[in-house]
Amino acid sequence: MTTKSLAGILTLAAAALTTAHAAFEISPGTDLFLTGTAGFKYDDNIFLSHSGEKSSGIFDVAPGISLEMGSAALTKNVFTYSEDFVTYTDASSQNTQLANVQYDGKYSDDKLTLKLNAGYHQIAQNTRDVRLNGVIVHTDVTNVSPDAEVKVSQKTVLGAGFDYYNYHYTPAGFIDLQTWTVPLNAYYEVEPDLQASAGYRYRNNSLDLPAANSYDNYFNIGARGTFDPKLTGTVDVGYNQRVIKSVTVNGVHVSGRTESAVGFDAKLQYAFDEKTAFNFIATNDFGSAATGDSQKVFELSAGVTTAISDVLSADGTISYYNYKYVGSTRHDDYYTGQVGVTYKFNQYLSGRASYLYQSNSSNISVVSFNDNVFAVSITARY
């Protein structure tokens, strides 16, 4: 796709949006929106290689739909679908088409909250963990996540859920992962809009490499809600354990092992004023790499969003991750930083420009890399 053809698509989209009116109300409370994103980015290391970096421009056009039901009711449902067409200017063999399907449903009344999230997403993007030199790795992600909370007394809420994720990689060389999690939590109101919590989370990790199968136990206490008029979010801390299972493969016994650590998960937002908010994330947990290895994963992230005017906003995020591979000497320090501005042309059309920097520093030098990505895009929703 050329720059001229992309400009033509954007012109037609803008013309359609400015001449049309809300004609997609299927029934009261049910609306169908046409959505789309068209953009271009320049990536100076598309394969995230340690050396011999390959750069390319990338055109990305993703038309789609969004079906939204119950916008003013106790039950709300949103179904979205898009088809993503990706074209590389200097690596045409990596051109691809990707499907993305997502459903988000919620029911809420005074005593009961039910949520269901489910999706299927095709991703063509090398990452710190999933990459091959000269090839863009494809990942198919399937997830189903029902969740429920019930108010059992004036101050007490009980919650339970089930989160299932399946990761399938193409081409061969990576270990597919199926993981399911059962979180159980109890919340007690200690003051208005603030609840203390006690919880347990079980997570089972099944990989296409039997010797890498594991399960996790996380016992925690914490709090959620409004900590002061400007600070809101969730915090929990506790004992985290990973058990790598023993297994016998072709008559050979592979002994398991147990790892433990202090676990925590904090997601906080600070409202500096009416226009500016700061976000903070800190986690310490176990993970499963696409190589089949268990990992200890520490994350620290800070971000800001601010409204410069009614139509112009800016945002930025800086993050640090530390990955320690269980049973290996490998450890990675991964850094990302992103800044962007968004301009709202009207209620249907917005534009965005952004810059992303990412760097992986590892004691195994061949997996280290640096990457810069400059991007511009137009997003439509009608």
pLDDT at 6: 42
Sign of CA dihedral 115, 120, 121, 127: positive
Average pLDDT over residues 370-378: 98
How far apart are alpha carbons 242 and 200 in whole angstroms?
Answer: 14
> Which 3 state secondary structure label does DSSP give 341?
strand
pLDDT at 18: 38
Q: Dihedral angle at the C-alpha atoms of 237, 238, 243, 244, nearest 10 degrees?
A: 20
Window from 1-5, 21-25, 88-92, 180-184 with minimum mean pLDDT: 1-5
Instruction: Give residue-wise pLDDT tens across range 274-316.
Output: 999 999 999 999 999 999 999 999 999 999 999 999 999 999 9
All residues at 6 or more sequence positions from 11 whose CB lies less than 8 Å from its CB, including other chains: none
Q: Where are the domains of the chain?
A: 47-54+70-81+93-381
Instruction: Give residue-wise pLDDT tens across range 35-78.
Output: 999 999 999 999 999 999 999 999 999 999 999 998 667 899 99
pLDDT at 3: 41
Average pLDDT over residues 361-367: 95
> Which CATH number does the domain 47-54+70-81+93-381 belong to among 2.60.40, 2.40.160, 1.20.950, 2.60.120?
2.40.160
CA-atom Rg of the chain in angstroms? 23
Q: Which residue has the higher pLDDT, 14 or 111?
A: 111
> Could you tell me how many residues make up the chain?
382
Describe the chain by its helix, strand, coil percentages, rounded to 5. Answer: 5, 70, 25
pLDDT at 197: 98
User: Is the pLDDT score of 370 beyond 70?
Assistant: yes
Global confidence as pTM? 0.89
Instruction: Give residue-wise pLDDT tens across range 172-217.
Output: 889 999 999 999 999 999 999 999 999 999 999 999 988 899 999 9
Contacts of 77-84 spanning 24+ positions with Cβ under 8 A: 77/103, 77/104, 77/105, 77/106, 78/102, 78/103, 78/104, 78/105, 79/103, 80/35, 82/35, 82/36, 82/37, 84/60, 84/122
